[in-house]
Amino acid sequence: MRCDQPFGREHHAFLARLRRGCMLERLRNWANDGGLLIGTSAGSILMTPSIAEDALFGNERPENLKDGAALDLVPFEFFPSYLPDLLAYSTWNSRPIIFGGSSALIVSHGKGQLATLLRPLRTAKIAQP
């Protein structure tokens, strides 16, 4: 099985590099043709329709972000951790937003409402070598 794993720290800069390298459309086509993409951090956010939530890190409003269109492989937005400002953004955004919480995945369907999507059955502490 072949797989690609996009990752990075700065969502907007990562998206710009993918565009400059003409990789955004190639990755989208590859995934739509059955290729496997596993995104971590910024890579997971890039698989959604928009990276608008990246604006929060620059003290801007996500709804004002221009040119934030991403791979659009899933019908929701994703952010690996919960930020209160993302809840406010959900009142403006028409798509569901899935947040990663410390003990659950949380989904917002707009209007600032939250619902728990998944709670782990158990957690395990990983031994350090």
pTM above 0.85, yes or no: no
Q: How far apart are CA 87 and CA 30, in angstroms?
A: 32
Indicate the fold that domain 3-117 takes in CATH: Rossmann fold (3.40.50)
The ranges assigned to domains in the chain are: 3-117
Collapsing DSSP states into helix, strand and coil, what is residue 58? Answer: helix
Mean pLDDT by 10 residues, the chain (129 residues): 54 80 89 84 81 73 76 85 76 79 63 59 50
Collapsing DSSP states into helix, strand and coil, what is residue 78? Answer: strand
